[in-house]
Chain A
């Protein structure tokens, strides 16, 4: 029997994930005059324009020049500011990677990066605008923290946490709306701590971002078939919550990871590292994009194509059992 946590929203409501960032940044800007908003001609998409409208003196749109934006962010951080540099995740993690590597991470600067349109969430954009390697790339950078929130609420909390957490910090967000996961903001969000959304004894699904809701739905499907599944929201991909993974191994012995990202180097790989280094014999499957460029299409269709929707995840769990 699956038992959902008290704070899990049971009725499906959708909310625009990125607005969770834009609105929270405006709130934070009221009390923290060191926060600066940066855009690279995608201010409306990343919602940093909300901050820009409210605090025009602490806002710069650099045009279509991501490398310049992250370099400027490093310079601002050197002078005590807390820049939030925003663009699509594919451009942040690939186009401007050298600046993030050398200017921000190597110098361990207090720069916050918001990469929107993560995974295949800009489905019809095609592979030029999908970000399916960003976890792998960003996770490998020393000093970096990497968060992929599950919904709008968690996005706001991850934004708030960014200001209280010194150092390079990357928030990867979905385009469009995500089903609301939490019915409260008081569920104990903490960087590096997974959130257990459902109790179960037969298997554990570890998911992040848009796959969290799909994992919850998968657990409902499996529950009807008498399979009890634990669901972990691993919103922080780095540093990964080792204790939560080790508990899942001990409690269920079967682990499935689900992410809107290539299976090489992302959440699944981070979980696999923990499993392997602890010598844990466990049935294990990484779900995600299987080392291909994704076809284009509606985001929900793409989740199904890649087997990271509710049905795909449920099937994968059954195969392992």
Chain B
């Protein structure tokens, strides 16, 4: 196992504070794509606080690892994380979605330092990430590029165009992670447009597929460490996640793709997140090494 007990706890504590910040920011913003923010925040926490070679003070270092959140509607998750990294003033989160703010639903890479791409129209991130990965190869740089896809996003044909090309060009320095939360705007992924057999599809496109629990830091970090060593085939990590993870009334409910938070929902949500975190801490105590 890659993670020590202390590392695991550090990541859980960080993710907990970010979940609370996401709930608070969504409330201030008058609504947001909170379901999908909560499904990816563990993965993003693992990337930025453990796995990526990324120093916020040198966010434009040409040798830094890149990360594109292709499901750009998770902008609140990225902004909250970036505020914790010091790339955005935490006080600025209160301006979310206000006219004139640089923080809105889909973030603008020209305005946010360290944000590797503007995303929002789905199915774009993996091709841009492949361009960055090919650039690394051409310039003999050792950085990795990560792309985080939504599972519903994988309905887009362009995802598979770039998947085909990633395997063809043996871009093993590109690590694809799919947030498999099984929900999209209009319903369950398997009801709206079935993705299964999902892992087989990626395998057929030439990927080495790792299926993990996207809310278990041990599995997330192990899978990323494994992907970093890829030689012949690029790795895709299918992270099984829960939309609205940690909040009782949201968890697994497609209707929380987007929603707004009133005082009652805020109070329940904060209590739920606290409870969720305590359960995680108990697990760390029991299984951490």
Contacts and interface: CB of A to CB of B under 8 A. Distances in A.
Q: Do A and B come from one complex?
A: yes
Interface of A: 36, 57-58, 60, 62-63, 65, 67-81, 83, 98-99, 101-103, 106-108
A67 B131 contact: no
Contacts of B158: 67-68, 71, 99
A103 B134 contact: no
Contacts, number: 104
Nearest to A104: B128
B132 A75 contact: yes
Given A65-B164, A65-B165, A102-B120, A78 B128 contact: yes
A103 B161 CA distance: 16
Interface stretch (B5-13, B20-28, B135-143, B277-285): B135-143
Contacts of B164: 63, 65
B165 A79 contact: no
B120 A78 contact: no
A131 B48 CA distance: 45
A98 B161 CA distance: 15
Contact of A79 (B109, B118, B136, B169): B136
Q: Which secondary structure characterizes the binding site on chain A? A: helix
Contacts of A79: 62, 131-132, 135-136, 139
Nearest to A79: B135
Given A63-B164, A75-B129, A102-B124, A80 B135 contact: yes
Contacts of B117: 74-75, 78, 103, 107
21 contacts: A60-B134, A65-B165, A67-B127, A68-B158, A68-B162, A71-B124, A75-B117, A75-B128, A76-B135, A77-B131, A78-B116, A78-B117, A78-B132, A79-B132, A79-B135, A80-B62, A99-B124, A99-B127, A102-B119, A102-B120, A103-B127
Q: Which secondary structure characterizes the binding site on chain B? A: helix
Question: Which of B109, B157, B161 has the most chain A CB within a 10 Å cutoff?
Answer: B161
Given A60-B169, A79-B62, A79-B136, 5 more contacts: A65-B161, A70-B127, A74-B127, A74-B131, A79-B135
Contact of B130 (A58, A63, A75): A75
Interface string B103-137: 00000111000001111110110111111111110
Contacts of B124: 71, 98-99, 102-103
A319 to B, nearest CB: 45
Contacts of B168: 63
Contacts of B134: 60, 72, 75-76
